[in-house]
Amino acid sequence: MKQLSTKVTSNAHGQDSSYFLGWEEYEKNPYDEIKNPNGIIQMGLAENQLCFDLIETWLAKNPDAAGLKKDGQSIFKELALFQDYHGLPEFKKALAEFMEEIRGNRVTFDPRKIVLAAGSTSANETLMFCLAEPGEAFLLPTPYYPGFDRDLKWRTGAEIVPIHCSSSNGFQITESALQQAYQQAQKLDLNVKGILVTNPSNPLGTMLTRRELNLLVDFITSKNIHLISDEIYSGTVFGFEQFVSVMDVLKDKKLENTEVSKRVHVVYSLSKDLGLPGFRVGAIYSNDEMVVSAATKMSSFGLVSSQTQYLLSALLSDKKFTGTYLNENKKRLKIRQRQLVSGLEAAGVTCLKSNAGLFCWVDMRHLLDTNTFEAELELWKKIVYEVKLNISPGSSCHCTEPGWFRVCFANMSEETLDLAMKRLKEYVESTDSNRLISKSSHERIKSLRKRTVSNWVFRVSWTDRVPDER
């Protein structure tokens, strides 16, 4: 008799993808300015390391928050016992206000409609359990975060059907792409329950336009399905335009308190905006009481530590801090993104014009030997093993066009970013020279690489290490 569930024995956790393999290679040979200056520079990790000093300063001035005290008195016992799955009221209030602040206070969030979760990983899975039966599908625009294959499908049994986006219009979602995806799901005999978008987008680094948001709301209205807007990067918008949330669109279309608004759910987390992935703080926001009620009960499986809720409710309740932080965060992200973009340009590499996120969506199509995913994987291997930069290949994000890569910029120092750009430039220049070598030796090298790719793929198919990052 089969001893373990198919969830264990299949590969549905999605961790055999190249996305995670680059991480493994990095772990074997990580760059260190002093100890390992020739190591691999991690550019595949969407972490925000730019504003820790602001939080550390706040912590130093407010020792009670971490010290489990209130007004100098220990509240350890109260926190140790607090396991109410409704969450710490002051924390949900502070979180709601922070989400409002990020949206320029144009929309309001009711703390009672917030359900806390252990990170947005947990929030997204819980929403799937609430909205989809096993075998039902959600439509996701490509390219999308590789972790969704695990988060949305693995234990829930739900399916993902891609909404194909292309570089021809900057990867924006079009009506025809939406319809095509919907029909594809029907062809596959899958009941479509909704659409999930990440806004701002991972891996694109762009915000959904108002046009796209209107299109999405109209589409879910006509099809009577759900819309999940994962707004985990909402506080990383650094462009001139302000962030337009799906909540803004509901308000502007006068759809608040309607049936449609009950089918629009927002997911949030403090892992990107505040750079706190280790603290496991995520949230679901829904106008549907039944969803809030069920998700609240389900949050039992991933509650936020009361110790952490207390610390962060103090931090986020400090409006002086949040105002300064959001402002400074934007500034620093903008500068760092510019540094990456110009560094890439100096190497003759362009990227999608971005205004948010912790990464750029980089166009390396001109560096491919052929317009194929095999060539993309080849290029990626060279960049990982020779240039020693861990970046994420577009195929791992289900991109339909080969040659795009996600490159992170907010998880390293300026100097390290400069070094990474220098290495890339050298590589590209040497590649340009090489393109002039004889065709026959070029063909020989190509076929050698092809064999190497196959062997390597089989050899490293069981990877144990994964970043929980996005």
Residues with catalytic annotation?
145, 230, 232, 272
Check binding of 332 to a copy of itself (CB under 8 A).
no
Which lies closer to a copy of itself via its Cβ, residue 23 or residue 361?
Answer: 23
Range 357-386, binding a copy of itself (CB under 8 A): none
Residues 273-292 contacting a copy of itself, CB under 8 A = 275-280, 288, 290-291
Residue 460 interacting with a copy of itself (CB under 8 A): no
Is residue 345 within the footprint of a copy of itself (CB under 8 A)?
A: no
Helices (H), 402-438: 414-434
Choices 32-40, 115-123, 244-252, 359-367 (CB under 8 A): range interacting with a copy of itself: 115-123
295 or 428: whose CB is closer to a copy of itself? 295
Of residues 83 through 102, those in contact with a copy of itself by CB under 8 A are 83-86
Question: Which 143-202 positions form the footprint of a copy of itself (CB under 8 A)?
Answer: 150-151, 154-155, 191
Does 448 help bind a copy of itself (rule: CB under 8 A)? Answer: no
Residue 42 dihedral angles phi and psi, to the nearest 5°: -80, 110
Q: Determine, following the binding rule CB under 8 A, whether residue 49 of this chain makes contact with a copy of itself.
A: yes
Strand partners, 266: 229, 285
In the block, which residue shows the tokens 């879910």? Answer: 220
The nearer residue to a copy of itself, 84 or 386, going by C-beta atoms, is: 84
Q: How far is the CB of 246 from a copy of itself (least distance, A)?
A: 18
- Write the single-letter amino acid at 211: R
- The helix or strand, by DSSP H or E, that contains position 228, with its residue range, turns out to be strand 226-230
Among 29, 30, 54, 66, binds a copy of itself (CB under 8 A): 66
**429 makes contact with a copy of itself (CB under 8 A):** no
**In which order are the strands placed within the sheet that holds 359-363?**
350-351, 359-363, 404-408, 392-393
Can you give 29-79 as a three-state secondary structure string?
CECECCCECCCEEECCCCCCCCCHHHHHHHHHHCHHHHCCEECCEECHHHH
Length of the chain: 470
Check binding of 133 to a copy of itself (CB under 8 A). yes
Binding residue for a copy of itself, selected from 113, 226, 365, 388, defined by CB under 8 A: 226
* Cβ distance to a copy of itself smaller for residue 118 or 208: 118
Residue 294 sits in the site that holds a copy of itself (CB under 8 A): yes
Q: How much is the CA Rg of the chain, to the nearest whole Å?
A: 23
Binds a copy of itself by CB under 8 A, chosen from 9, 36, 186, 434: 9
Give the closest residue to 170 by CA, choosing from 205, 146, 139.
205
Q: Calculate the alpha carbon distances from 277 to 62, 105, 139, 270 in Å.
A: 21, 25, 26, 7
79 or 160: whose CB is closer to a copy of itself?
79
d(CA 72, CA 373): 59
Footprint (CB under 8 A) of a copy of itself, residues 233-272? 263, 271
Give the chain's end-to-end CA distance (angstroms, integer): 38
Q: Indicate which single residue of 184, 209, 242, 307 sits in contact with a copy of itself (rule: CB under 8 A).
A: 307
- Answer yes or no whether residue 77 interacts with a copy of itself by CB under 8 A: yes
Q: Give 200 or 302: the residue with its C-beta nearer to a copy of itself.
A: 302
CA distances from 241 to 173, 206, 208, 236, 246 (A): 19, 11, 11, 12, 15
> Which of 88, 35, 22 minimizes the C-alpha distance to 312?
88
Q: Which of 29, 129, 332, 460 binds a copy of itself (CB under 8 A)?
A: 129
Do 302 and 122 form a contact (C-beta atoms < 8 A)?
Answer: yes
CA dist 36 and 29 (Å) reads: 8
* Cβ 183 to a copy of itself shortest distance, Å: 17
Residue 302 binds a copy of itself, judged by CB under 8 A = yes
Query: Using the rule CB under 8 A, is 33 a contact of a copy of itself?
Result: no
By C-beta, is 7 or 338 nearer to a copy of itself? 7
Out of 33, 52, 370, 372, the residue judged to bind a copy of itself by CB under 8 A? 52
